[in-house]
């Protein structure tokens, strides 16, 4: 049971990183192996639609942070994606990461093109969460959908979505015990889903 956590925050030790650590702690306490990545530590170019990955089949247009992350994604049984909300959506770092997952698709040549995912080789799970500064859930915009919808056709079952509100100040989530408890429970539920419990 290997779980890879991805923080899409430009702040390496902000609210998103703290919540990600709590989700992964829930997985670890249930016996899973976890690792975490902060996209702030990587340079990831945006997908340019060159379609080289249809031929190669990996992204050969760029040799960047995703080149390092692709093998870890393949090895992981589950992903945990977390992002702060920037203008009703995920951060540009997280969007680039998600777009570059396109390299895992195989397409047919007919129109409309059929597709399959090389990540659907075994059951994979995911948990997503979005961190917003406002008090209303509508102010998260499409962030949760932007995290979860692209994972599903890639072969992931999204077993948990966590909206987090009222987190304007950096690090404030550390004082929100109920939110941290929810994140921890998401990790435990992810581990249970992976183990078939």
Model pTM above 0.85: yes
Question: Residue range 1-25: average pLDDT?
Answer: 96
- Per-residue pLDDT, 137: 94
Contact by Cβ (8 Å): 162, 188? no
Tell me the HSE value of 139 on the side-chain side, using a 13 A CA sphere: 12
Show the domains of the chain with their CATH numbers: 2-195 (3.40.50.360)
Residues 6+ apart with CB under 8 A from 39: 6, 7, 8, 9, 65, 91, 93, 94, 97
Burial class (CB in 10 A: 0-12, 13-18, 19+), 187: buried
Assess whether pLDDT exceeds 70 at residue 197. Answer: no
Question: Residue range 34-39: average pLDDT?
Answer: 98
Question: Residue range 90-94: average pLDDT?
Answer: 98
Name residue, tokens 């945006």: 46
Label the pairing between strands 115-117 and 105-107.
antiparallel
What is the tens place of the pLDDT at every residue in 96-153?
Answer: 999 999 999 999 989 988 999 999 999 999 999 999 999 999 999 999 999 999 999 9
- Per-residue pLDDT, 57: 85
Looking at every residue in the chain, the average pLDDT score rounds to 96
Share of the chain above pLDDT 70, in %: 99
Assess whether pLDDT exceeds 90 at residue 39. Answer: yes
- Picking from 159, 128, 125, 131, the residue whose alpha carbon sits closest to that of residue 145 is 128
Phi, psi of 7 (to 5 degrees): -95, 125
Using pLDDT thresholds of 50, 70 and 90, give the confidence band for residue 79: very high
């Amino acid at each position: 049971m290997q779980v890879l956590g991805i923080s899409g925050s430009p702040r390496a030790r902000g609210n998103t990183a703290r919540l990600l650590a709590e989700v992964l702690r829930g997985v670890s306490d249930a016996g899973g192996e976890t690792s975490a990545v902060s996209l702030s530590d990587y340079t990831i170019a945006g997908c340019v639609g060159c379609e080289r990955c249809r031929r190669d089949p990996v992204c050969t247009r760029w040799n960047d942070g995703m080149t390092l992350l692709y093998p870890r994604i393949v090895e992981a049984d589950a992903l945990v994606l977390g992002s702060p909300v920037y203008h009703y959506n995920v951060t540009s770092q997280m969007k680039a990461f998600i777009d570059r997952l396109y390299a895992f698709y195989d397409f047919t040549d007919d129109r409309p093109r059929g597709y399959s995912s090389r990540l659907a080789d075994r059951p994979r799970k995911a948990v997503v969460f979005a961190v917003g500064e406002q008090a209303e859930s509508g102010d998260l915009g499409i962030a949760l959908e932007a995290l979860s919808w692209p994972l599903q056709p890639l072969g992931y079952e999204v077993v948990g979505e966590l909206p987090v509100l009222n987190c304007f100040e950096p690090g404030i989530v550390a004082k929100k015990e109920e939110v941290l408890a929810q994140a921890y429970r998401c990790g435990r539920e992810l581990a249970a889903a992976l183990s078939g419990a």
